A and B are shown apart, each in its own frame.
Chain A
Amino acid sequence: MLKTDSPEVIRSFNVGLAISTFLIVLTGLLTLFSASRGPGLQSLTKLQGVYFFAGCILAAAIIFIDSDFLKKVAYPAYGVCLGLLALVLVVGHVGNGSQRWINLGFFRLQPSEFAKIAIILALARYFSDEKKGGPYSLKRLILPALLIVPYFVLIKKQPDMGTAGIVFLTAASMILFIGVEWKSIFLVMMVTMISLPLAYKYVLHDYQRNRVKTFLNPMSDPRATGYNALQCRIAVGSGKVLGKGYMEGTQAQLNFIPEQHTDFIFSVFAEERGFVGALLLLGLYASYLLFSVRSILRARDKFELLVAVGLTAVMFWHVFINIGMVIGVLPIVGVTLPFFSYGGSSMMMFMICTALLLNISRKRYIF
Chain B
Amino acid sequence: MIGREDEVKEYRTRIWMFQVTIVLGFLILAGRLFYLQILKGDELGSVSEANRLKKEKVVAARGRIYDRNGKVIIDNRAAFDAVLVSQYYSFEDRDNRRLASALKMNADEFDKKLSKINRGPSYAPGLLKADIGKELIAAIETAPLGFPGVDIESNVQRKYHFGEVSAQLFGYISEVGKKDIKTDSRLQQGDYIGRTGLERFFDSELRGNDGVGYVEVDARGRRRRSENSDKILGYFSRTEPSPGDSLYLTIDIDLSQTANQSMRSHEFNGTVIALDPRTGEILAMVNQPSYDPGKISGREVDPVIWSRLQNNRDRPMRNRAIQDIYMPGSTFKTIVGIAALGEGVAKKTKGMECHGFIKTGNHKLNCWKTHGWTDFVKAIRESCNVYFSQLGAELGIDTIARYARLFGFGSATGALPSGEQKGLIPDSEWKLKTLKQEWLPGETLSAAIGQGYVTITPIQLVNAYATIATEGVRYKPFLIRRIEKPNGEVVKEFKPEKQSEIKLDPELWKTVKEGLFQVVNQPGGTASVSGRSKKTIISGKTGTAQVRGFSDISKIKNCMALPVQQRHHGWFVGYAPRENPEIAVVALAENSCHGSSAAPIVRDVIEAYFDKINLEKGIPVQEETTKTPPNKKGYQVPFQEMDE
Q: Which residues on A are within 8 Å of B, measured CB to CB?
A: 128, 176-178, 223, 231, 233-241, 250-251, 254-256, 270, 274-275, 278-279, 282, 285-286, 289-290, 293, 296-297, 299-302, 304-305, 309, 312, 316, 320, 323-324, 327-329, 367
Contact = CB atoms under 8 A, between A and B. Distances in A.
A46 B595 CA distance: 89
A250 B22 contact: no
Contact of B8 (A302, A324, A328, A329): A302
A39 B37 CA distance: 29
Contact of A305 (B11, B17, B52): B11
27 contacts: A231-B51, A233-B44, A237-B37, A237-B41, A237-B43, A237-B47, A238-B45, A239-B41, A240-B37, A251-B52, A254-B52, A255-B218, A275-B38, A279-B30, A282-B33, A289-B22, A296-B15, A301-B7, A302-B4, A305-B8, A316-B18, A316-B21, A316-B22, A316-B25, A320-B25, A324-B28, A328-B32
B216 A254 contact: yes
A235 B218 CA distance: 14
Q: Which 8 A-B pairs rank lowest in CB-CB distance, beginning with the nearest?
A: A237-B44, A238-B48, A240-B41, A275-B37, A301-B4, A254-B218, A237-B36, A255-B219
Contact of B1 (A274, A300, A327): A300
Interface in B33-64: 33-34, 36-38, 40-45, 47-49, 51-52
Given A240-B37, A240-B42, A324 B29 contact: yes
| Most chain A Cβ neighbours within 10 Å, of B123, B217, B219 | B219
Nearest to B121: A223
Contacts of B29: 282, 320, 323-324, 327, 329
B33 A327 contact: yes
B104 interface: no
A285 B22 CA distance: 10
Contact of B33 (A256, A279, A299, A301): A279
Interface size class of B (residues with CB under 8 A): 35 or more
Contacts of A367: 1
A234 B51 contact: yes
Contacts of B42: 240
A254 B4 contact: no
Contacts of A279: 30, 33
B45 A240 contact: yes
B5 interface: yes
B41 to A, nearest CB: 4
B402 interface: no
Interface string B6-18: 0110011011011
Given A282-B30, A293-B15, A293-B19, 18 more contacts: A233-B36, A234-B47, A234-B51, A236-B37, A236-B44, A237-B37, A238-B47, A240-B37, A241-B37, A241-B38, A250-B49, A250-B51, A250-B52, A251-B52, A254-B51, A285-B26, A293-B18, A304-B8
Contact of A312 (B18, B32, B216, B218): B18
A209 to B, nearest CB: 23
A359 to B, nearest CB: 16
B632 interface: no
Contacts of B220: 255
| Most chain A Cβ neighbours within 10 Å, of B21, B48, B218, B219 | B48
A323 to B, nearest CB: 5
Task: State the main secondary structure of chain B at its contact with A.
Answer: helix
Given A290-B19, A305-B8, A320-B25, A234 B37 contact: no
B33 A236 contact: yes
B224 interface: yes
Contacts of B4: 300-302
B37 to A, nearest CB: 4
Nearest to B7: A302
Given A275-B37, A327-B33, A234 B44 contact: yes
B11 A177 contact: yes
A33 B17 CA distance: 37
Contacts of B21: 316
A304 B14 CA distance: 15
Contacts of B14: 177
A136 to B, nearest CB: 14
Contacts of A312: 18
Nearest to A320: B25
A329 B45 CA distance: 20
Contact of A278 (B33, B47, B123): B33
B22 A275 contact: no
A329 B30 CA distance: 11
Contacts of B49: 238, 250
A315 to B, nearest CB: 10
B52 A237 contact: no
Contacts of A301: 4, 7-8
A309 B49 CA distance: 44
B36 A296 contact: no
A232 to B, nearest CB: 10
B15 A256 contact: no
B21 to A, nearest CB: 7
Contacts of A286: 22-23, 26
Nearest to A236: B36
B141 to A, nearest CB: 15
Contacts of B8: 299-302, 304-305
A296 B9 CA distance: 11
Given A238-B44, A293-B19, A296-B18, A274 B37 contact: yes
